[in-house]
Amino acid sequence: MKVLVAAAAAVTGLVLVVTLSLMGLVIADEEASAAETSDGGGGLRGVPEEFRTWILEADKACKEPAMTPSLLAAQLYQESKFKTTREEATSKAGAEGPAQFTPSAWATWGRDADGNGESSPWDIGDAVMAQGRMMCSLLKQAKNSGLPGDVRALALAGYNAGWHRVEQFGGVPPKSFANGETHHYVQVILSTMSRFEGPGLLQVSGSGTGVTALRKAVTRTGTPYAYGGGGPGGPSTGFCDGTNGYQRGKCAASSTVGFDCSSLVQYAYWPKVKLPRTAAAQYGATSDRAVSRTDLEPGDLLFWSHGGSGSIYHVALYAGDGNVLHAPRTGRHVEVAPLTSAMPERDYFGATRP
């Protein structure tokens, strides 16, 4: 049952919010399966930390039971992939920011939610709270409309095309409307909500360089694996090299926004510790600070090899209690897994402390 802390705003007008025209969405085949402990965050995962707090706040502010953090997260990902720059999050139709508001829509729903003295669709807090207010209102309107179908689908269609279009078609507009944009928008978001659903984040307590790095990496739980993707700034598309990055015979890495094992580690420690990009190079940069398996601490780096330091092929962060946090392989997500089974036990090479 949802925790209710505030009522949502009432519907004040019909608005049109246009998604980024070239914004695609990769649907991963497998969900992270490792057991994690709940952090009381509503079962939200795979969301950048700067968005996470506001998504949870927007969810709490809505009384509609159909509202969930994963619905807001999946919608944000479809709108902008959590991008926040003007170059990456401005559509040809003039929609702006991570939640893709047109100026007229922002005039209705925008507020200074983060208290910085400005109401802006580019401020993450302002944008996500406006998205939540609008979706909450649309969910209520869908529930009271008497129209058939999933109220979430109706609300999403209203967000994308305007509620008047939902009324015009008596439901989600068909594929023949707007080249299928709204129909696709609704279907993709509903089908990918599970990617952002719980379990919650691994709890990380304590302080220090390793703990801080682990805590940062944990916020990326659920992010897809992309061979060659990711870096200090976060996830990105990867590439295929003739051997790696493929799934079902196709190059998945080039269309997947995510991390591989070493970029996740690099991201976690940056900028305090500027580790190199590959697992082998990370071992070379930290091998003078080796740690025995019995003395592991959160944030330590663990390596697997096919034979010797020159054949290291995987790196993970020690997450405590015999578990690791890592980006395992194509088709999987950043996840928590037991050290003994994260990779073949016979390949375990050793650990270091950056």
pLDDT in tens, 286-316: 999 999 999 999 999 999 999 999 999 999 9
In this prediction, residue 58 carries a pLDDT of 95
CA distance 100 to 86: 11
Residue 22 has a pLDDT of: 31
How many angstroms separate the CA atoms of 149 and 171, rounded?
7
Which of 26, 76, 75, 28 is CA-nearest to residue 50? 76
Q: According to the model, what pLDDT value does residue 195 have?
A: 85
Please tell me the distance from the alpha carbon of residue 59 to that of residue 193, in angstroms, as a whole number.
14
**pLDDT for res 176:** 96
The predicted structure's pLDDT at residue 81: 93
Residue 27: the pLDDT is 31
pLDDT at 214: 95
What integer pLDDT is reported at residue 48 of this predicted model?
Answer: 85
Strands (E), the chain: 236-237, 246-247, 250-251, 257-258, 290-291, 301-305, 312-320, 323-326, 335-338, 348-352
Angstrom CA distances, 182 to 129, 142, 323, stand at 22, 16, 42
Q: Please identify every stretch of the chain with a pLDDT value under 70, giving residue numbers as ranges.
A: 1-43, 198-201
Full set of structural domains in the chain with CATH: 49-196 (1.10.530.10), 209-352 (3.90.1720.10)
Looking at residue 30, its pLDDT comes to 28
Can you give 113-149 as a three-state secondary structure string? Answer: CCCCCCCCCCCHHHHHHHHHHHHHHHHHHHHHHCCCC
- Enter the tokens of residue 282: 């990370």
pLDDT at 44: 79
